[in-house]
Structure 1
Amino acid sequence: MLTALIIRSSENVTIVGDLERYYPDVRWIDVIMPFLPGRGETQEERHQILTFLTAMRNKYPEINFVLYARSYGVFSEEGRAAISSIFSVPVITATGAIISKLRTLKANKLYVITPYGQTRHGYELKWLNEYGFEIIASSCLGHDAGEEILAIKTEEVVAALKLTNSLKSRLDGIYVACTFLRTLTMNEELQQVASVPVVTATGSMLWELDQLRNAL
């Protein structure tokens, strides 16, 4: 049995249970990362992240891989490399997996759905643009609180996704943001409704995890 460290925020209360259902052959060590201000990209913020992760590495030396189910500190390649350097085992980050999945699918022209309010939604579009993705259109569902995002129903995401029908000739893919959003339970219905591939934050991590498990 493989042993994995999952790093999550305290608000993301469903992801561990979902992972245990999808991967019962993996022993998941649940680690809640304390709240830290900012985006995790300043020198001081990164120092706090690395100090915390070093302590977790030392506490759990038996792990086979790390699932960093957060975007904090990993928007940049430098941030992802810094976190990966702490561990001697593979590290899957949400942002890194999203970028990799979109590029593998050659999904460059995107319709983006986020659960967020306008400010956080705008930041999501910004980092995607910085990695060369073209945002054809986007939709934000207006939720910033973790408990509100967790409560979003499949129907709400499907309604936003159906807005792409008139854009399908211009799109390579649809990206649905946020690891809080329970897209693992929505995925089949989302793919059925969409005319182009749907890439989700959590689904991207598990896509990368499946590749990793095959290699271990």
Structure 2
Amino acid sequence: MTAPAGIDYGDRGRIGFLVPSGNSVAEPELHAMLPRGVTGLVTRLELRGSSEAELLKMAEGLEAAARLLADAQPALIGFHCTAVSTFAPAMAEDIRRRIEAAAGLPACATADGIVTALALLGVRRLLLVTPYIQPVHDREIGFLASHGIETIGGGCLGVATNAEMARIPPATIAAQARAAAAAAPGAAACFISCTAIRSAGLIAPLEAELGMPVLTSNQIMAWHVTRRLGLADAVPGFGALMRR
């Protein structure tokens, strides 16, 4: 017996996601970009703002949240916050280790997907477009540099909370990407970073317009966990990465 139309129970794979408490965008975008038969199960960790203290506090509840997700028996747990997982070069490794120890399951972080995707695409110079406040944006540039990736252009919007990020019109983000590409030719990709902004619908149109791969945090995570499951499904409509 098959499931009713529109219901996906994740019979090919279930992924557990740990997301910021104030994020209302990651779940719908992830579900849209996961292949048929793969579903996401979500637990939240407290994060509303973007101060250094708030970002670091999100990781304090990792173990308890990971154990809750483990009850649903996912194949993998993904810590899904770009700003926290790229906070420092070793942050993602520490997050992975703690989740795996607490849950007894494989784990990954958004930062892992970023590095893996950029390596696959051969990207060494990129545009970084974010909604963040400047210190968060700058830390991400530093994280990318620690992996040999040069940020040659882009910018940030100075938005501090997940709730505000979700209200940024996609047209504003698209204009930001266009301006970055015009100001800094020579990039191999445009990375629209942040799990909390409405960016999924921009990927394919901007790729066609800018002539380069366009990556987003939610797209990268959907792709990364799908490949970690051992699945090679292409998900149409969400850019070149989802065909790799």
The answer to whether TM tops 0.5 is: yes
TM-score by length of 2: 0.74
Q: Does 1:51 align with 2:66?
A: no
Residue 61 of structure 1 and its aligned partner are, at CA, apart by 5.3
TM-score by length of 1: 0.82
- In the alignment, the residues of structure 2 paired with residue 8 and residue 171 of structure 1 have an alpha-carbon distance, to the nearest angstrom, of 30
SS of 1:83's equivalent?
Answer: helix
- In the alignment, the residues of structure 2 paired with residue 166 and residue 73 of structure 1 have an alpha-carbon distance, to the nearest angstrom, of 28
C-alpha distance 212-55 of structure 1, shift in aligned 2 (>3 A): closer
Partner in structure 2 of residue 4 of structure 1: 15
C-alpha distance 127-66 of structure 1, shift in aligned 2 (>3 A): same
Cα contact 2:20–2:45 (8 A) shared by 1: yes
Residue 20 of structure 1 and its aligned partner are, at CA, apart by 3.3
- In the alignment, the residues of structure 2 paired with residue 110 and residue 20 of structure 1 have an alpha-carbon distance, to the nearest angstrom, of 27
Partner in structure 2 of residue 18 of structure 1: 29
Residue 49 of structure 1 and its aligned partner are, at CA, apart by 4.3
**How far does the alpha carbon of each residue in 1:21-74 deviate from its partner, in whole angstroms, 9 at most, with x for none?**
44463343221113493554xxx986x34432453255x152222122124356
**How far does the alpha carbon of each residue in 1:99-137 deviate from its partner, in whole angstroms, 9 at most, with x for none?**
111111111111111111222222221221222211112
Q: Does 1:79 align with 2:94?
A: yes
- In the alignment, the residues of structure 2 paired with residue 29 and residue 9 of structure 1 have an alpha-carbon distance, to the nearest angstrom, of 14
State the percentage of identical aligned residues: 17
Q: 1:194 corresponds to which letter in structure 2?
A: L
Partner in structure 1 of residue 40 of structure 2: 28
One of 81, 92, 99 as aligned partner of 1:70: 81
Mean Cα deviation higher: 70-79 or 121-130: 70-79
- In the alignment, the residues of structure 1 paired with residue 81 and residue 119 of structure 2 have an alpha-carbon distance, to the nearest angstrom, of 20
Cα contact 1:165–1:195 (8 A) shared by 2: no
Q: Structure 2 unaligned runs (5+)?
A: 1-10, 233-244
Cα contact 1:80–1:96 (8 A) shared by 2: no
One of 105, 111, 117 as aligned partner of 2:127: 111
State how many pairs are aligned.
210
1:198-209 mapped onto 2 (5 Å cutoff): 198-209=214-225
1:171-190 mapped onto 2 (5 Å cutoff): 171-190=187-206
- In the alignment, the residues of structure 1 paired with residue 85 and residue 22 of structure 2 have an alpha-carbon distance, to the nearest angstrom, of 17
- In the alignment, the residues of structure 2 paired with residue 45 and residue 61 of structure 1 have an alpha-carbon distance, to the nearest angstrom, of 22
C-alpha distance 132-22 of structure 1, shift in aligned 2 (>3 A): closer
SS of 1:100's equivalent?
Answer: helix
C-alpha distance 205-192 of structure 1, shift in aligned 2 (>3 A): same
Cα contact 2:100–2:107 (8 A) shared by 1: no
Residue 209 of structure 1 and its aligned partner are, at CA, apart by 2.1
Q: Structure 1 unaligned runs (5+)?
A: none
- In the alignment, the residues of structure 2 paired with residue 98 and residue 64 of structure 1 have an alpha-carbon distance, to the nearest angstrom, of 20
**How far does the alpha carbon of each residue in 1:154-197 deviate from its partner, in whole angstroms, 9 at most, with x for none?**
211221111213533x2122111111112223222222222221
